[in-house]
Structure 1
Amino acid sequence: MVQSSVLGFPRIGGNRELKKATEQYWSGKITQQELVEVGKKIRAENWLLQKQNGIDLIASNDFSFYDQVLDLALLFNVVPEQYTKFDLNSLDKLFAMGRGLQRDSIDVTALEMVKWFDSNYHYVRPTFKPTTDFKLPAEDALIKPLAEFLEAKALGVETQPVILGPISFLTLGKPEKEFLDTLELLDLLPKILPVYQQLINKLVTAGAKNIQIDEPVLVLDLDQKTQAAFKTAYETLNLSGSNVTIASYFGTVIPNLTAIESLPVSGFHFDFVRAPEQLEPILEWLSKKEYKLSVGIVDGRNVWKNNFAKSLEVINKAVAKLGADRVTVASSSSLLHTPVNLEAETKLSEEIKSFFAFATQKLGEIAVLTKAVSSPETVSAELKANQEYVTKRATSTLINNKAVQDRVAGVTDAMGRRNHPFPERYAVQKDFYKLPLFPTTTIGSFPQTKEIRINRNKFQKGKISSEEYEAFINSEIEKVIRFQEEIDLDVLVHGEPERNDMTAYFGEQINGYAFTLNGWVQSYGSRYVRPPVIIGDLSRPKAMSVKESVYAQSITTKHVKGMLTGPITMLRWSFPRDDVDQKTQAFQLALVLRDEVKDLENAGINIIQVDEPALREGLPLRSGAERDAYYSWAAESFRVSTSCVEDKTQIHSHFCYSDLDPNHIKALDADVVSIEFSKKDDPNYIREFKTYPNHVGLGLFDIHSPRVPSKEEFITKMGKILETQEFEKFWVNPDCGLKTRGWEETKLSLTHMVEAAKFYREQYAQK
């Protein structure tokens, strides 16, 4: 019989219990044991929910208090020396590695955080050295995959432990700084495989009948050494005693198929949502083998209901070729990337709600598809209702707006070009702004205090009037402006107190978006986001940010930046439509933002920042024509958004937490770019940005950590950057916005940053 499988389930809890408990623990309001109990409760609810929905292969070890890659690093003793000097228990060590720690005599920065492939989830990148001592904890209770497997077993739930595989774990990490140019990470494979073997042996001994080993790097461009490493690794491991499935997702494995075609495992999981074109070659290959196939067909990355008829075509092809006993119906990836439960949405219109399936509902979709293969009569009502949904959505009046479609069709090359190239623009800007060397600024947001959240909630619930709320927002803007003036920042921001989220805030004012009350997904650690959903063609009924920017500018003589979210980030940090290509959606957003940029300029806002942190995230995972095309239209969409202004108007953009190529940023033609940099310890990365022709700010402190860098630390960081960067082009700024930080640490960090800028201003004044 065909089985069903879920590769992972959201770990945040239906009401964000994990976030609340974790932040309470960090602030000392609950004990570690109380936090651990919250995690245990969430895991139990997730396992039992999946069992109740008839899922056969239920994942365990998909839970994390911070990040699953960081969990594995800690489990295997991949812990840099700075975190071992102090008497920290395993959970506090995990948090120190993920977010840094500054208390008593402890002062450590966090490890680097980067995007998980092309998703908006961030993982903590492990660091290795030639002498890394891979080993498991001495106590079985501290071996997380084993402990959670036994925990589920005690509840009567047979689970499939999930482990990140050795090739992916190594290649997604990086060497420690002193070994950047000398250590090839795959050379550590012989040292790490015995530890994987010990872990697998313990799971098998505990009764694990199935184990899922994730090797997501199979969808990337892999060199011959990496491809050969798969054969070496899996032929070295003794996997007998359990059915081991190697899982990949987010793309096609076909270019790397030879690397896995004869591995001694039981089966494979492939993503046929993101890469349906790989079905035929995979079935042809598997027809000559004995492997089982897990068919990833229910989208783990989006909220739209599954089209059962289309999915059954794929599943039935697999069954016809391989037989029912070799096929599993599964989510395309972990459901980590989707909200927990649609039933929590009480304010969506019934029509819009009928289009969606969140993680809980996707369990039902997987169960229906599984039953439909062998006994369709048992789910005939569900199949009929699904076909009605497909028809209803295609004909919905919420979807199509001909005026928007016509405007996108009318976009010209000239709309994506500034009046003059940067050198000519900068000559005008230099004379107009008269900024000092090493101009200081922030990325946009300031701390979102409890008072801000309370007043926003009151306004949304109608407990205060729009006039009262506007007065409150203006008072918060004035506080931020006065503080920035006090510490002598050069280019100010209004602090964004009116904004709940950099994507949702604008989406709420754009026709074609839908919003949820509880559609939270984890971005990293305790940072959860509530992505809006693009349901139809996009247009702007009125200005979205001008009022607050104009007010901020009216109360200071310094320049205040207008702050917007760019078209690619608006697209990527939403749940996009799956019935229209992403390029079309990006250009619809570009035209919305073009109107906003022009309105800001007309209102006297002469510096406008259009953030594109998701630019790298949208990059196709493999090199080639598709990737080149993406970079072309992504850059053009940004330029269409920003090229409508005069030469003196300075366009800024910001990028964070992704590996960036200066050539691709150059294509945006922004006057100034700011880039997350504080946790980069690769000197080559600094040198790469020397080629950037316009102005650049490399972020000087980690805004995701509560620690406060000293003035001397800022001076040291700037000194290293200035060894390769042109000082006339260098801006001074944090890594990202300060929304998640507290006011005291924000004040100290920014004060020290400005002091460091002034130190170098004096040093370079005569050059």
Structure 2
Amino acid sequence: MNALLPTAIVGSLPKPSWLAEPEKLWSPWKLAGAELAEGKHDALSLAAEEQRLAGIDVIADGEQTRQHFVTTFIEHLNGVDFESRETVRIRNRYDADVPAVVGPVSRPKAVFVDDAQALRAQTTQPIKWALPGPMTMIDTLADRHYGSREKLARKFAKILNQEAKELEAAGVDIIQFDEPAFNVFFDDVRDWGVEVLDLAAEGLRAETVVHICYGYGIKANTDWKATLGSEWRQYEESFPLLQRSSVDTVSLECHNSHAPVELIGLLRGKKVMVGAIDVARTAIETPEEVAATLRKVLPFVDQDKLYPSTNCGMAPLSRHVARDKMAALASGAAIVRAELAGATSPPT
């Protein structure tokens, strides 16, 4: 792995068309039973190889074995009824039919450990695995049992911590918690959200990441972004709190974002995964565009703590667009890496 500016994707990659309908979230599987299990791991291998060929340093699973970044984890828990669904407002943005919490939630067995072991076998490079964050989990459910967002989030944090420790034991180097809800529920973030996130990461030796973005490049999210005005200051609410948290790294949306770049300075001392690839458009960034984004943020993050990444997951994109965007990310990081190495080299 490159010691300076190691690259990584945030979350999902498009699935092969033989596994699920492409360019679609919540896409149903095209296979079943043993064929589905084999197909998922074949797709996992492809995702790892495509990242390697693109020049990505930290290899992720691309969420090839899950239908959705939140609900696939939840469906393996006790206490959640997927037959009794309700329509709820997700992050105050769009409606979705979601399962209901009908009793005490628990995790009867590991959810992603077998998949993580399969990814670990694919590469000697560092691997990263993403889990849904506690606050985003409770926002993707109807609660009929706990009657308290905080109480349910704390239960989920304990469950996530169990899963994360088993992923760590399976060879995962970096564990990411996805918390797009941190950009919406600011009072909860302040009152208990960061504390609960720390509970999910408690005791881990693996590097920990929290990912906070403005969402996939789908219409509901792009429409919401259009209402935010010319300057997005949501990060101003969470970054000072996260700077004091136990989480090692904060992942954020940057390229083509209206979030003021100087807000990254609120995280000084933390590692920062800076989104230099816009997942809400199909146009491929040039390496120089990626480099320009990274140069723009360098005054606000220590260069040895900067991880160039994507803004969010790329599941709604085509495979060739995602491949080209990853290659641009790697090439753009290489440009700035060479510039920084030249700047720090002793004179000859």
TM-score bracket, normalised by the shorter chain, equals: 0.7 to 0.9
- CA shift, 1:475, in A, is 0.7
Contact 1:565 1:610 in 2 (8 A): yes
Say whether residues 1:642 and 2:201 are aligned partners: yes
Distance 1:477 1:615 in 2: 29
Distance 1:587 1:523 in 2: 20
Distance 1:717 1:501 in 2: 29
Q: Secondary structure at the match of 1:469?
A: helix
**Pairwise mapping of residues 653-664 of structure 1 onto structure 2 (< 5 A)?**
653-657=210-214, 659-661=234-236, 662-664=239-241
Contact 2:18 2:30 in 1 (8 A): no
What residue number does 1:63 align with? Answer: none
Contact 1:687 1:725 in 2 (8 A): no
Q: Which amino acid aligns with 2:281?
A: S
Contact 2:290 2:329 in 1 (8 A): yes
Distance verdict in 2 for CA 1:584–1:757, change over 3 Å:
same
- CA shift, 1:514, in A, is 2.0
Q: Which amino acid aligns with 1:650?
A: E
The partner residue of 2:264 within 689, 707, 713 is 689
Distance verdict in 2 for CA 1:530–1:448, change over 3 Å:
farther
Distance verdict in 2 for CA 1:566–1:700, change over 3 Å:
same
The percentage of aligned residue pairs carrying the same residue is 24
- CA shift, 1:679, in A, is 2.9
What residue number does 2:288 align with? Answer: 712
Q: Secondary structure at the match of 2:12?
A: coil
What residue number does 2:338 align with? Answer: 762
- CA shift, 1:670, in A, is 1.5
Contact 1:700 1:735 in 2 (8 A): yes
Say whether residues 1:457 and 2:29 are aligned partners: yes
The partner residue of 2:75 within 505, 508, 529 is 508
Say whether residues 1:496 and 2:63 are aligned partners: yes
- CA shift, 1:712, in A, is 2.1
Unpaired stretches in structure 2, ≥5 consecutive residues: 22-26, 215-231
What residue number does 1:177 align with? Answer: none
1:169-190 per-residue CA deviation (whole Å, 9 max, x = no partner) reads: xxxxxxxxxxxxxxxxxxxxxx
Q: Which amino acid aligns with 1:457?
A: W
Distance verdict in 2 for CA 1:641–1:575, change over 3 Å:
same
Say whether residues 1:665 and 2:216 are aligned partners: no
Distance verdict in 2 for CA 1:725–1:606, change over 3 Å:
closer
Contact 1:487 1:754 in 2 (8 A): yes
- CA shift, 1:654, in A, is 0.4
Distance 1:516 1:740 in 2: 26
Q: Which amino acid aligns with 2:246?
A: D
Distance 1:452 1:527 in 2: 27
What residue number does 1:680 align with? Answer: 257
What residue number does 2:167 align with? Answer: 600
Unpaired stretches in structure 1, ≥5 consecutive residues: 1-433, 621-626
Distance 2:96 2:121 in 1: 32
Say whether residues 1:568 and 2:135 are aligned partners: yes
Q: Secondary structure at the match of 1:604?
A: coil
The partner residue of 1:734 within 304, 307, 310 is 310
The partner residue of 1:651 within 196, 208, 215 is 208
- CA shift, 1:750, in A, is 1.2
Q: Which amino acid aligns with 2:194?
A: A
Q: Secondary structure at the match of 1:502?
A: coil
**Pairwise mapping of residues 141-160 of structure 1 onto structure 2 (< 5 A)?**
none
- CA shift, 1:572, in A, is 1.6
Contact 1:510 1:540 in 2 (8 A): yes
Distance 1:470 1:533 in 2: 26
* Greater RCO, CA 8 A, separation 6+: 2
**Pairwise mapping of residues 264-343 of structure 1 onto structure 2 (< 5 A)?**
none
Contact 1:561 1:606 in 2 (8 A): yes
Distance 1:669 1:435 in 2: 25
1:297-319 per-residue CA deviation (whole Å, 9 max, x = no partner) reads: xxxxxxxxxxxxxxxxxxxxxxx
Distance 2:97 2:18 in 1: 21
**Pairwise mapping of residues 45-444 of structure 1 onto structure 2 (< 5 A)?**
435-444=2-11
Distance 1:707 1:714 in 2: 13
> Scaled by the length of structure 1, what TM-score is found?
0.39
1:420-451 per-residue CA deviation (whole Å, 9 max, x = no partner) reads: xxxxxxxxxxxxxx642111000121013432
- CA shift, 1:723, in A, is 3.8
- CA shift, 1:711, in A, is 1.8
**Pairwise mapping of residues 529-540 of structure 1 onto structure 2 (< 5 A)?**
529-540=96-107
Q: Which amino acid aligns with 2:235?
A: L
- CA shift, 1:699, in A, is 1.1
Distance verdict in 2 for CA 1:511–1:761, change over 3 Å:
same
Contact 2:103 2:145 in 1 (8 A): no
> Scaled by the length of structure 2, what TM-score is found?
0.83
RMSD: 2.5
Q: Which amino acid aligns with 2:207?
A: Q
Distance 2:304 2:48 in 1: 26
Distance 1:699 1:527 in 2: 24
What residue number does 2:24 align with? Answer: none
Distance 2:86 2:18 in 1: 23
Distance verdict in 2 for CA 1:615–1:446, change over 3 Å:
same
Distance 1:521 1:567 in 2: 17
What residue number does 2:228 align with? Answer: none
What residue number does 2:116 align with? Answer: 549
Distance verdict in 2 for CA 1:574–1:707, change over 3 Å:
farther
Distance 2:19 2:312 in 1: 20
Distance verdict in 2 for CA 1:514–1:617, change over 3 Å:
farther
Distance 1:612 1:444 in 2: 12
Distance 2:105 2:177 in 1: 18
Contact 1:481 1:552 in 2 (8 A): yes
* Larger helix proportion of the pair: 1
Q: Which amino acid aligns with 1:675?
A: L
- CA shift, 1:528, in A, is 7.2
- CA shift, 1:765, in A, is 1.2
Contact 1:549 1:561 in 2 (8 A): no
Contact 1:562 1:609 in 2 (8 A): yes
Q: Which amino acid aligns with 1:701?
A: I
**Pairwise mapping of residues 10-21 of structure 1 onto structure 2 (< 5 A)?**
none
Distance 2:84 2:324 in 1: 35
User: Rg: which structure is higher?
Assistant: 1
Aligned length: 316
Contact 1:635 1:667 in 2 (8 A): no
What residue number does 1:211 align with? Answer: none
- CA shift, 1:617, in A, is 2.1
Distance 1:698 1:517 in 2: 39
The partner residue of 2:275 within 699, 710, 732 is 699
What residue number does 1:269 align with? Answer: none
Contact 1:503 1:531 in 2 (8 A): no
Distance 1:668 1:691 in 2: 13
Contact 2:85 2:98 in 1 (8 A): no
What residue number does 2:227 align with? Answer: none
Q: Which amino acid aligns with 1:569?
A: T
Contact 2:160 2:200 in 1 (8 A): yes
Contact 1:452 1:497 in 2 (8 A): no
* Larger strand proportion of the pair: 2
- CA shift, 1:530, in A, is 4.1
Distance 1:641 1:579 in 2: 19
